[in-house]
Each structure stands twice: as C-alpha cells, then as structure tokens.
Amino acid sequence: MIRYALICEEGHGFEAWFGSADTYDEQAEAHAILCPACGSAQVNKAPMAPYVAKRRAETPMPAPGEQPRSYAMLRKLRAELTANSDYVGPKFPEEARKIHFDEAPGRAIHGEATHQEAQELDEEGVPIFPLPRLPEDQN
C-alpha cells in the first residue's frame, strides 16, 4: 500500500491510498480518482514530506566505574535462587534426574553441570535453568 497527497485542479488537497504506484498511474490515466470536495477528475500528486522513522530512545550509558542496572537485577536474582536452593555441586545432573523421576524428594537445587550434561538433561525433559553469569564470574 502507498499513500499519496493529491490536489485537484481547483486546489483542493486530499490523501488517498493505492495498492501500488502502478495502481495510482492506472487510475489517474482512467480519470478514476475524484476530488472528494468538488468531484473533479483532474487530480495530480501533491508534494509530500517523506516519512522519517524516529530514533529509539537510547539507553543512557552508565558512568565510569558504574555497572548497568541489569547487573544489579541479575545479582539479586542469582542471590535469591542460591539462597532458596540446596547446593549439590558437581552432582547436579544426577540429583536433578533423581528429583525429576521421583527417586528423591522434590526440592530446589543448584550446582555445576557441563554443557553436554545440561544438554542431556534438557533432552530427557528434566527442567533446568542456568544461573545468570555476571562480569565477576570471568575473573
């Protein structure tokens, strides 16, 4: 769809939508476009201002030495998750399976798993969620 600003021979301005530029040309040649004010079929395109997309508001950069608010939110999330679950260390895959298959009491746990172990748990339908990684984890 394309919208054109149009003007008739009497100077009446109006807008109309067309399926394409070719559709406009066909209707204009056939004098099928009529001014809604006076009914004139002598209609031409009027100058139009182009549509310019507005820039999205940019997220302000944190001050030097300051970390983005998202890190604070991730720290808080990770602190809550670890405070409200049992640490099982490298036995995480084994414990997660036992809980999932009702071989151990249900409880929230956290620990370590390799990428391969996490993938296997996912394929078996064992629900897992990786704890968010933070910049200090890289040190």
Residue 46, phi then psi, degrees to nearest 5:
-105, 160
Rg of the chain over all Cα atoms, to the nearest angstrom? 32
Q: How far is CA 117 from CA 76, 92, 97, 110, 113, in A?
A: 26, 9, 11, 14, 6
- Give the distance, in angstroms, between the CA of residue 60 and the centroid of all CA atoms in the same chain: 19
**What is the per-residue pLDDT across 112-133, written as a single tens digit (0 to 9) for each?**
999 999 999 999 999 998 887 7
Boundaries of every domain in the chain? 2-45, 69-131
Predicted model pTM: 0.49
pLDDT at position 134 over 80: no
Q: What is the structure's pLDDT at 75? A: 87
* 4 or 49, which is more confident: 4
- Give the distance, in angstroms, between the CA of residue 64 and the centroid of all CA atoms in the same chain: 28
How many other C-beta atoms can be found within 10 angstroms of the C-beta atom of residue 83? 7
One DSSP character per residue, 21-46 reads HHHHHHHHHTT----TTT--S-EEEP
Q: What is the structure's pLDDT at 16? A: 93
**What is the per-residue pLDDT across 3-25, written as a single tens digit (0 to 9) for each?**
899 999 999 999 999 989 999 99
Q: What is the structure's pLDDT at 70? A: 78
**What is the per-residue pLDDT across 86-109, written as a single tens digit (0 to 9) for each?**
999 999 999 999 999 999 999 999
